[in-house]
Structure 1
Amino acid sequence: MQFFSMKLCLSSWCSNILFSIHVFLILCTTKAIVKLPGNETVPAVIVFGDSIVDPGNNNNLNTLIKCNFPPYGRDFPGGIATGRFSNGKIPSDLIVEELGIKDLLPAYLDPTLQPNDLLTGVSFASSASGYDPLTPKIVSALSLTDQLDYFREYIGKLRGIVGEEKTNFTLAKSLFVVVAGSDDIVNTYFVTRARKLQYDVSSYTHLMVNFASTFLKELFELGARRLAVFSAPPLGCLPSQRTLAGGLQRECAENYNQAAQLYNAKLSSELDSLNSKLPQAKIVYVDVYSPLIDLIQNPGKYGFEVADKGCCGTGTIEVAVLCNQYNLVTCTNVSGYVFWDSYHPTERAYAVLISHLIQKYINSFI
């Protein structure tokens, strides 16, 4: 009996040693991890949301909202169109790179995903998804409920790799990033009008915040403690919305921007309320609106030249399947553009934003 107990102890000890060596080897292949106050670290980044942080989860879905074809990815390592809505990397990649965790954050549904990838995080985001359950349904994307189901599956896989205790530690110390809301406002409310018959802008943004709050509470119940929740950007200044709703001069559509600002104010207030109700959590409102509107209004300050059109095609309407290899007029000087297509920024614009956001908010997660 003593021999059996010793054998179990040795087995557990060896498992812990092997896990530690494994994590050490992973970290040695990346930059040094950014230290949080108190010498804490971020072992993984786990992402939910829409196309801003979708590295390719939509690739094998029966939806038109995908981009795993040229010219997308033309400046990505290897020039590969991975399903990221950009010419290169997207915010989820830049966040893990800035934190020194790894170079890219993979899609959970990537068929080449390896068990080791789970240790340092994945993205469950699905392009064109949103807080409103109707939003992903319109385009056959993954809802946030679907993304949570995959997250539960992920937790089970993680337990199988490192055990219950280390899984709980990983979830508690990881950075959870949630990026959603834009497609709810732009597509579900203003374009399809499916909700406009039921709600005015004020009541619809209230509905969005209620859905967001429920989602964040579900994440907390599953073990998330450090949550970065991105605001809506200045939606009226996206090239596509300038074209559709900005008049002949393609000005920023103020009704879209006002809706985004109203939603952001309500979201920020709700996150304050959640923090008081969930004292173990750090739920941080991340203001994307202000730095992006500054970049759009003052592109020269950041070394950009064009902020009202995308690089792909005419830059006024092309996105997803409309931005394809037959867009012969796609720009050559992409580094001068804030937007890659008519909806999504370029890698360089994302890099400017993410660097600013990490510097501003990283100390909030203590």
Structure 2
Amino acid sequence: MTYVMLSKMLLALSFISLFYVGSAQQSNGNSTVSALFAFGDSILDTGNNNLLLTLTKVNFFPYGRDLVGGRATGRFGNGRVFSDMIAEGLGLKSLLPAYRDPSLSNDDLPTGVCFASGGSGLDAITARIQGVIWVSDQVTDFQNYITRLNGVVGNQEQANTIISNAVYLISAANNDIAITYFTTMSRRLQYTVSGYTDLLVTWTRDLIKSLYDMGARKFAVMGTLPLGCLPGARTMLGSLICEVFSNQAADMFNKKLSAEVENLGATFPGAKFMYIDMYTPLLGLINNPQASGFIDVAHGCCCTPTSIIPCVDASQYVFWDIAHPTEKSYRTITPPIIEDIKAKLA
């Protein structure tokens, strides 16, 4: 091989290398969702309750039996939960780790973590009666996370970029309505359903403001599930029909929240917002289960008075236990939600 030929080959290789480097940089530049942060309740919690002195935790079999390795991680389901699905759909990771997990790796910090706590809510009473992490305390955890992230990336500007380009996923009123309002007297004596749902919307805005003031700019705010159709609510009526009053309250809150989220852009300049409807797609599975391959919509696969022994195949059930969808239910309703997040927040 002559010197001229070798030079030409090296020159060609250098152009190829520049092409691939440039393409990689362009691809990374187009990825505008840096991380996912989850706040709220058990729909998103991936294990933050495990070390708390509370009965509201699920770090035991059969929870997690359909996860890789079949290990109970503190997720309220048989496998991955909604926050995991969103993280994967955004190309970040398949499992969103819990911030309070002692084994949390620094490598996981830049692409997001979960702060949500099963049993929690917007109302301080909701968290207090169950001994879990109130959303206000989750924001404190997020503040501590930012300090830790700065240390990991070693550059405050880079940390700020991660914070501002992340999606903030919030699910926080399910327990306030289903537990604090309908199963305890304190709030019912103070507020009508309309008054209480107004208050929940105000508290949601306060939560968003706290995160916005810390650099958050992309918010995906979830409505509640059809609470009267959860197995725990249906049991009171013999599992035959959905409980009406909880569904009416959930629907009322969701409509108010959706309208509020639509107008938040004027209150928080530079931020993007979207409402995630959880009520309608889950109610669709309940009303027409065969279309998606489900058989049972009224009972949980496990951990209920009617299913002390877990079912064999959770994929036939819309619900895993008294209150939480199965992994298959999440998998069924999540794809269009992911596309909506990409379109509105990315």
**With structure 1 as the length reference, what TM-score do the two structures score?**
0.84
Question: 248-257 or 142-151, which moves further after superposition?
Answer: 248-257
How well do the aligned residues superpose, as a CA RMSD in angstroms? 1.8
Decide whether the 8 Å contact of 1:45 with 1:96 is kept in 2.
yes
Amino acid at match of 1:339: F
Aligned position for 2:199: 207
Larger radius of gyration: 2
2:323 to 326, 335, 343: 343
Give, in whole Å, the separation in 1 of the partners of 2:126 and 2:115. 16
Decide whether the 8 Å contact of 1:313 with 1:331 is kept in 2.
no
Amino acid at match of 2:231: P
Alignment of 1:1-366 (within 5 A): 39-162=30-153, 163-244=155-236, 247-248=237-238, 250-313=240-303, 316=306, 327=308, 329-366=309-346
Give, in whole Å, the separation in 2 of the partners of 1:141 and 1:134. 10
Decide whether the 8 Å contact of 1:239 with 1:315 is kept in 2.
no
| Structure 1 ranges of 4+ moved more than 6 A | none
Amino acid at match of 2:176: D
Give, in whole Å, the separation in 1 of the partners of 2:150 and 2:231. 44
Give, in whole Å, the separation in 2 of the partners of 1:40 and 1:153. 26
- State the 1:315 CA deviation: 6.3
- State the 1:43 CA deviation: 1.5
CA deviation map 1:261-310 (0-9, x unaligned): 11011111221232112130001111111111101111111111111111
SS of 1:153 mapped into structure 2: helix
- State the 1:314 CA deviation: 5.0
Paired-residue identity, %: 46
Give, in whole Å, the separation in 2 of the partners of 1:241 and 1:356. 28
Give, in whole Å, the separation in 1 of the partners of 2:137 and 2:63. 26
SS of 2:122 mapped into structure 1: coil
Give, in whole Å, the separation in 2 of the partners of 1:87 and 1:73. 4
Decide whether the 8 Å contact of 2:217 with 2:270 is kept in 1.
yes
Amino acid at match of 1:183: N
Give, in whole Å, the separation in 1 of the partners of 2:144 and 2:303. 40
Question: 171-180 or 92-101, which moves further after superposition?
Answer: 92-101
Decide whether the 8 Å contact of 2:300 with 2:320 is kept in 1.
yes
SS of 2:168 mapped into structure 1: strand
- State the 1:250 CA deviation: 3.1
SS of 2:61 mapped into structure 1: coil
SS of 2:219 mapped into structure 1: strand
**With structure 2 as the length reference, what TM-score do the two structures score?**
0.89
- State the 1:133 CA deviation: 1.2
Give, in whole Å, the separation in 2 of the partners of 1:279 and 1:298. 41
Give, in whole Å, the separation in 1 of the partners of 2:305 and 2:37. 31
- State the 1:192 CA deviation: 1.4
Decide whether the 8 Å contact of 2:289 with 2:297 is kept in 1.
yes
- State the 1:362 CA deviation: 2.2
Structure 1 unaligned runs (5+)? 1-23, 29-33, 319-326
Structure 2 unaligned runs (5+)? 1-20
Amino acid at match of 2:206: T
Aligned residues: 321
